[in-house]
């Protein structure tokens, strides 16, 4: 991963808004409905060029394809594997049970969306049958970046074995752990394709925090930490052989606008996160329930080999953070880490984790990323002791 010795770099977590036409096509493809492949390809190329240009315009240093090519950050996986069928009855978060008003609001706000609670389940031995789709994703993105010279470094996301296992349930393997390790074995083909293409691999693993209130909600905190360690072990099995400095790990408490009253504290899970063979750790800190948790790094120091990518811009509201607010959050992250060169400013989560469920209007997304860059410049001027540009 690139590092900077003279300013704070910027990135984001991955997904960016998809246009309405592309969203409809992605949902049709997921549902197995007929669609025009030529229209799909043209719309995809157009969308990709758009998000790459917008990231460049906003001043993002480490960019990606905005996950335009996927229906959801993890629910795309069954389209690339055999063994999935039927529908999972995914467990909802605890607060969705305790606040039915929240569910009602979500259904009103997002009436047409991709599969989330009802994704397929593993009903037979799973196999990643064809790396063609991931290679096509990589090629289209890299061609556009090369043409536009958009970013000094690029990344691409892929779902962790753990979040796949807690979204697409196991109805075949003897245990959850056996299922996760099978997923790690098969997803390693996608992880390797991304890394071999020269892109930084981002493992999306919200299961390491969010699933405390979903799949693993019946566990104690200590038991959940044990589950986290097993999920991290599956990630490590999947990324084995990929250099640590080419992997970044994203962890969050769930990208929705809700109370988040039952989120587990970062301090409790941080040692488990450090067990991941990744060179960077992406964690949300702009979320109002977690803005105070930089203090966790006083108890559990960030390992010397790791970069912190703190979320300093929130991803579920249309408020545009003031650059001074962003700068203050970055400076707090630097103070927690103790090294300005090991902090890369980021967002809390993605802006389009699922097709058809974008919390933030598109114009606000680009303004938030612009504010991220402006705040990073302000913080850089202070941290390197020079006048702001």
pLDDT tens-place values along the chain, 389 residues long: 888 889 999 999 999 999 889 888 888 887 888 888 999 899 999 999 999 999 999 999 999 999 998 887 788 899 899 999 998 887 777 777 887 887 777 777 766 555 556 789 999 999 999 899 999 999 999 999 999 999 999 999 999 999 999 999 999 999 999 999 999 999 999 999 999 999 999 999 999 999 999 999 999 999 999 999 999 999 999 999 999 999 999 999 988 787 888 999 999 999 999 999 999 999 999 999 999 999 999 999 999 999 999 999 999 999 999 999 999 999 999 999 999 999 999 999 999 777 777 889 999 999 999 999 999 999 999 999 976 55
**Taking a C-beta distance cutoff of 8 angstroms, is the pair 276, 249 a contact?**
yes
Residue-level length of the chain: 389
In this prediction, residue 238 carries a pLDDT of 98
- Which H/E stretch holds residue 282? strand 280-284
The number of C-alpha atoms within 13 Å of 275 and in the hemisphere containing its C-beta is 18
In this prediction, residue 139 carries a pLDDT of 97
Q: 340: helix, coil or strand?
A: helix
**Taking a C-beta distance cutoff of 8 angstroms, is the pair 356, 114 a contact?**
yes
Closest CA to 328 of 63, 8, 57: 8
Q: Domains plus CATH for the chain?
A: 9-383 (3.20.20.210)
Distance between CA atoms of residues 55 and 151, nearest Å: 9
The number of C-alpha atoms within 13 Å of 327 and in the hemisphere containing its C-beta is 14
């Amino acid at each position: 991963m690139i590092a900077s010795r003279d300013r704070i770099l910027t990135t984001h977590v991955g997904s960016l808004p998809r246009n309405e036409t592309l969203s409809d096509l992605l949902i049709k493809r997921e549902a197995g409905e007929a669609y025009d492949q030529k229209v799909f390809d043209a719309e995809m190329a157009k969308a990709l060029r758009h998000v790459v240009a917008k990231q460049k315009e906003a001043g993002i240093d480490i960019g990606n394809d905005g996950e335009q090519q996927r229906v959801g950050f993890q629910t795309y996986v069954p389209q690339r594997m055999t063994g999935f069928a039927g529908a999972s009855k995914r467990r909802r978060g605890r607060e969705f049970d305790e606040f039915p008003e929240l569910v009602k609001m979500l259904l009103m706000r997002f009436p047409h969306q991709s599969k989330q609670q009802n994704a397929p389940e593993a009903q037979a031995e799973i196999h990643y049958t064809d790396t063609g789709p991931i290679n096509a994703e990589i090629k289209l993105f890299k061609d556009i970046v090369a043409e536009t010279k958009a970013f000094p470094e690029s990344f691409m996301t892929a779902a962790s074995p753990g979040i796949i296992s807690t979204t697409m349930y196991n109805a075949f393997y003897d245990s959850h752990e056996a299922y996760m390790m099978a997923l790690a074995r098969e997803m390693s083909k996608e992880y390797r394709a991304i890394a071999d293409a020269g892109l930084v691999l981002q493992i999306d693993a919200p299961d390491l925090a969010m699933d405390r209130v979903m799949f693993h909600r019946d566990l104690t905190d200590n038991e959940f930490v044990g589950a986290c360690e097993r999920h991290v072990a599956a990630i490590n099995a999947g990324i084995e052989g990929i250099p640590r400095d080419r992997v970044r790990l994203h962890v969050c408490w769930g990208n929705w606008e809700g109370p988040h009253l039952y989120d587990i504290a970062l301090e409790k899970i941080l040692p488990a996160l450090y067990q991941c063979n990744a060179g960077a750790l992406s964690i949300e800190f702009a979320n109002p329930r977690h803005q105070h948790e930089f203090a966790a790094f006083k108890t559990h120091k960030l390992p010397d080999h790791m970069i912190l990518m703190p979320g300093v811009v929130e991803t579920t509201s249309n408020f545009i953070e003031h650059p001074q607010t962003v700068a203050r959050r970055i400076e707090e992250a630097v103070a927690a880490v103790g090294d300005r060169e090991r902090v890369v400013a980021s967002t809390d989560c993605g802006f389009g984790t699922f097709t058809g469920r974008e919390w933030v209007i598109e114009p606000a997304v680009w303004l938030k990323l612009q504010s991220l860059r402006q705040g990073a410049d302000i913080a850089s001027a202070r941290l390197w002791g020079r006048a702001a540009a």
